[in-house]
Every structure is written in structure tokens, then in C-alpha cells.
Structure 1
Amino acid sequence: MRNDRFVVLTGGPGAGKTSVIEVLRAAGHRCSAEAGRAIIRQQMEIDGAALPWRDRALYAELMLSWELRALDAQAEGSGSVFFDRGLPDIVGYLRLEGLPVPAHILKAAQGQRYAQRVFLFPPWPEIFTGDSERKQTAEVAAATCRAMAATYSELGYDLIEVPRAGVAERARFIMAACRALC
């Protein structure tokens, strides 16, 4: 079932998605945080196994749980809700890592639909930085973007590439596109 109010921002790590989400949130829009970073923080605090450098399949299962809860939490209300990644990102992640995609994860990505148009943040090496949670290289970030684009396209979404520009300009681009298309 598709929910046209649910707008996804996707792409590789370090491309500016979360910064734009924060601008949208500050402007009063409803937003859902990225599962991956939150899970990594929580798992690092407890020395848990569900880290992408320890157990990628378990990490994906926690992302699935997080994203399903986020969808449920945002179901009530009106107006657009901006998601920092979505269920198809989990499918893309597993494929990028060379892991099998469990049937239940694919079923969730196919059945829980977001707005038809998804905003793709292309790789941007000039702003990419790593940290204790983001251990990927710029090359892996670019491969992640390609995997996400392929996965969303395969699942029937239309991709809109977000221009490389300042954070506020990117947020305005998304809002203008939503008014025109979403």
C-alpha cells in the first residue's frame, strides 16, 4: 500500500541527506531519522553484535524493525513526512554487501510503499567525511548510491536527483518538487 505523504531521501553515506532532513525538521516538517546511525550508536554503547562490521544480516534485521516502527509512528496525521532512507535501502544494503535478501525483507520493501518519487542524493566526494559510525570510503559511498538507485528503480519508484548545492537550497529544491509532484 502506497502512502504519498511519505517522502524518502536516499543515496550513499555522506551525501548530505541527514543535513537536509535537519533543515526540513527545523522548518516544522515531520521527519523520520536514519535507522543505520541510530542502531550503530546503540550497538556501540552496549558492545552489541548488530553492527555492520560484526553481523551485517543482524544489522539489516534491526534496520527493518526500526523502519517498520517509523512507518507505524508516522501513519497518523497529515502533511508530508520525510524519511532519511526507507525499507528499500535495506534491500540495497544487503545486495551491496553480497548477502541474500530474506523474503520477509523484500516483502516489506514491496508492500510498504512510500511516495512514488524518491529523492536521490548523488555521491559528493567534496563533502564526504568518515567518522566512528560511518566507516565507508568515498568509493563505497558511491557504490551504495548506485545500489540504492537500482533497488528503488527495480521496486518501481521514480528517482529525482538532488542537485549538489547548499543544504538550504537542497531543502528548497525538495520542497518545491513535493509541491509540484508529491
Structure 2
Amino acid sequence: MTFVVVTGGPGAGKSTFIYGLEAAGFRRTEEAGRAIIQDQVAIGGPALPWLDPVLFAEMMLQWELRSHRAAQDEEGPVFFDRGVPDVVGYLRLEGRPVPAHVDAAAKSFRYHHEVFVAPPWPEIFENDAERRQTLEEASLTYDRVTEAYLDYGYSLVELPRLTVRERVGFVLRHLRRA
């Protein structure tokens, strides 16, 4: 399996790390949540987490399914900035039921059995136009998302709080051993 997920709470350095992997020559996907928020704000759309969390989750699910399909045509490993189980974690965080079709997607659209998780990192956490959560909310997101991956049978590998270059080396060494 060459689909490798990087997940965790907001503001823990996931996307920056994934850009580092891209700079090292690896394929990557775009994070669904941030892109959807940017697009919805630009068009005045309703699929925003602070307006309609269920619609936002549906859009994230569709984004992740499309990313999974598109990655099937890529050579070598593809690093995913979140995956389908993140949608499950988000719905749980929001106190919403997980619809049967979301559960089915998390069971069907699979990734490498080891998922890299970025733990909360207060020293680098920042808010921006798309990231409105507090550090506490980001930590709760981390908890719900990692629980979701465990529930779907994945093993978690915590990313150390290191520089991007050191994180890239850590992941590549880990994948070679696996």
C-alpha cells in the first residue's frame, strides 16, 4: 500500500510537513478542510464548519474519495494530508452521528496500515482565516481523529516534534523498515 496518511489536530505542522515531503520529490494530496473553507468563503457557500458541520463533513468526504481515486494513478507513495477516517473523527467531535455511507467509505477506501499522527504542538499552533479552533479544540480534534483511525484498524505512529527535514527523515526511515 503506497497511500500514507498524515493526520492529527489543527496547527500541529501536518501540512508544512507534507510540503516538505513534496519538496523531497514525493506526491501529496491537498487538505480537504482548508480548501473547502477557502472555496466556500470565496463563493459565500454554506458548507462551512461554523455554519453547517454536516454539509462540511459531506464535502470533506467527497474530497477524500476523489483524492483516493486520483492517487491510484500515481507511481510510488502518495502522502495524504488527512484521509476518510478524519471525516468520522470530525463528525464525532461535532457530536454528530456517523452516517452508514461515511462508515462504509472509511472501511472501503484504505491506506497504509500505519498512519502518521502529528500531536498537539502548542509552540507552533496559530490561528488563521481557515483555522478558527482554539488549542483546546485542536487537541480534542486530535483525540477524535486518532480514535477513528484506531477504530478502523490502523496503527498510529506519532511524528516527533522536530524540524520538517527531520520529520521527513523519520517517516522515510520508518516506512523503509515497515
Q: Structure 2 length normalisation: TM-score?
A: 0.98
Q: Deviations over 1:35-71 (max 9, x none)?
A: 0000000000001000000000000000011111111
More displaced stretch, 70-79 vs 105-114: 70-79
Q: Secondary structure at the match of 2:33?
A: helix
Q: What are structure 1's unaligned runs of at least 5 residues?
A: none
Q: Secondary structure at the match of 1:144?
A: helix
CA distance in 2, matches of 1:77, 1:128: 32
Q: Structure 1 length normalisation: TM-score?
A: 0.96
Residue 67 of structure 1 is matched in structure 2 by 64
How far the C-alpha of 1:137 sits from its partner, in A, is: 0.4
Residue 20 of structure 1 is matched in structure 2 by 17
Q: Deviations over 1:57-87 (max 9, x none)?
A: 0000000111111111110232110000000
Residue 94 of structure 2 is matched in structure 1 by 97
2:84 counterpart of 1:112: no
Residue 39 of structure 1 is matched in structure 2 by 36
2:48 counterpart of 1:87: no
How far the C-alpha of 1:132 sits from its partner, in A, is: 1.1
CA distance in 2, matches of 1:172, 1:17: 15
Q: What are structure 2's unaligned runs of at least 5 residues?
A: none
Residue 6 of structure 1 is matched in structure 2 by 3
Q: Secondary structure at the match of 1:120?
A: strand
Residue 180 of structure 1 is matched in structure 2 by 177
In percent, how many aligned pairs have the same letter? 54
The 5 A counterparts of 1:119-138 are 119-138=116-135
CA distance in 2, matches of 1:180, 1:170: 15
Which residue of 153, 156, 159 corresponds with 2:153?
A: 156
CA distance in 2, matches of 1:179, 1:103: 36
Runs of 4+ in structure 1 off by over 4 angstroms are none
Computed over aligned residues only, the root mean square deviation of the Cα atoms, in angstroms, reads 0.7
